[in-house]
Amino acid sequence: MRFYNMSTNLLLVPIPESCDNVMNRDIKIAVLGSSTVGKTALIVRFLTKRFIGDYESNTGNLYSRLVHIEGEQLSVQVQDTPCVQAQAECARFPDLVSRCIHWAEGFILVYSITDYNSYKLIRPLYQHIRKMYPDTKVPVIIVANKSDLLHARQVQTNDGIQLANELGATFLEISTRENYEDVYDVFQHAYKEVSKLHMNNNGEKRRGSIIPRPKSPNMQDLKRRFKQALSSKVKSGATL
Ligand SMILES: Nc1nc2c(ncn2[C@@H]2O[C@H](COP(=O)(O)OP(=O)(O)OP(=O)(O)O)[C@@H](O)[C@H]2O)c(=O)[nH]1
């Protein structure tokens, strides 16, 4: 079942029972973070270029749209993951959140610079993702949102940079409200990193399937003879 959200002019696809069933997508990104950090605003801004002030509380919409990134037309699916309220919940993330993590190929973790608790949630969220992908370095972008609200700042830019460095994630501080280019950058980074991961995976498969070319026996033979000739010269030189 699909339906249109008239206010955002976007196609909404309810989350399927199993996120594994979603087929034929080019890129699948999950946006995660605690409540009111601006996840929906970020996604809608990216997909429509518009900043829409107020949204109903997020119930887990999946947005789908064809977009142009780096000259390529892509089908992008963005999961507005239902908010994770408090740090206490992190030990046992709701099933839906885990399902979305399982479904996605890249992750945008959002906190608000005006809400220190939303920042504190990023590490456990990241750790939860890593636990679900122990063998893959899945792309994670950490976004510090609402940078226009400087007077209400609770999280310093350096805190974000430090955390991202520690976790090995990309970091961007942005204002979804003020700057569309920054929002576009976030998704462009996510796209690039997911593409890189795709390429590496394909590369590994290709490398694995290459049968090593046998060395020419003639060359081997020549080398062996050359070595023999050299060592006999050295030996005879030594006896002189
Ligand atoms: N000043 C400012 N306000 C923002 C920005 N981004 C989002 N907001 C506002 O923050 C509030 C929450 O935004 P949402 O997009 O609904 O947040 P959410 O993370 O989806 O929240 P849930 O639906 O509760 O999960 C809204 O009033 C937005 O207008 C921003 O960059 N700057």
Distance 40 CA to ligand 1 centre (A): 7
Compute the average pLDDT of residues 162-189. 96
> Is 210 contained in some domain?
no
> Is 110 contained in some domain?
yes
CATH of the domain at 47: 3.40.50.300
CB of 77 within 6 A of ligand 1: the answer is no
Instruction: For ligand 1, pick from 32, 34, 40, 122 the residue to mutate: most ligand atoms within 8 Å of CB.
Output: 40
**From CA 114, how far away is CA 129, in angstroms rounded?**
24
Q: Which atom belonging to ligand 1 lies closest to the Cα atom of 176? A: 31
CB of 56 within 6 A of ligand 1: the answer is no
CB of 109 within 6 A of ligand 1: the answer is no
Q: Give the sign of the dihedral formed by CA 146, CA 149, CA 155, CA 157.
A: positive
Q: Whose CA is nearest to atom 12 of ligand 1?
A: 36
> Is 6 contained in some domain?
no
Domain around 133: 27-198
Q: What is the pLDDT of residues 103-123, one digit of tens each?
A: 999 999 999 999 999 999 999
CB of 179 within 6 A of ligand 1: the answer is no
> Is 21 contained in some domain?
no
Q: What is the pLDDT of residues 125-166, one digit of tens each?
A: 999 999 999 988 899 999 999 999 999 999 999 999 999 999
> Is 144 contained in some domain?
yes
How many structural domains does the chain have?
A: 1
**From CA 1, how far away is CA 186, in angstroms rounded?**
29
> Is 159 contained in some domain?
yes
> Is 238 contained in some domain?
no
**From CA 118, how far away is CA 13, in angstroms rounded?**
27
**From CA 155, how far away is CA 240, in angstroms rounded?**
81
**pLDDT exceeds 90 at position 226:** no
- Cα distance between the two ends of the chain: 93
Q: Whose CA is nearest to atom 30 of ligand 1?
A: 146
Identify the DSSP state of 173.
Answer: E
Closest CA to 147 of 127, 171, 163: 171
DSSP characters for 44-82?
HHHHHS------PPP---EEEEEEEETTEEEEEEEEEPP
Furthest-apart CA atoms within the chain: distance in Å:
97
Show the CA angle centred on residue 35, arms to residues 30 and 37, nearest 5°: 75
Q: Which residues of 50-72 are buried (b: 16+ CB within 10 A; e: fewer)?
A: ebeeebeebebbbbbbebebeee
> Is 64 contained in some domain?
yes
Tell me what pLDDT residue 74 has: 81
Q: What is the ipTM of this complex?
A: 0.98
Tell me what pLDDT residue 73 has: 82
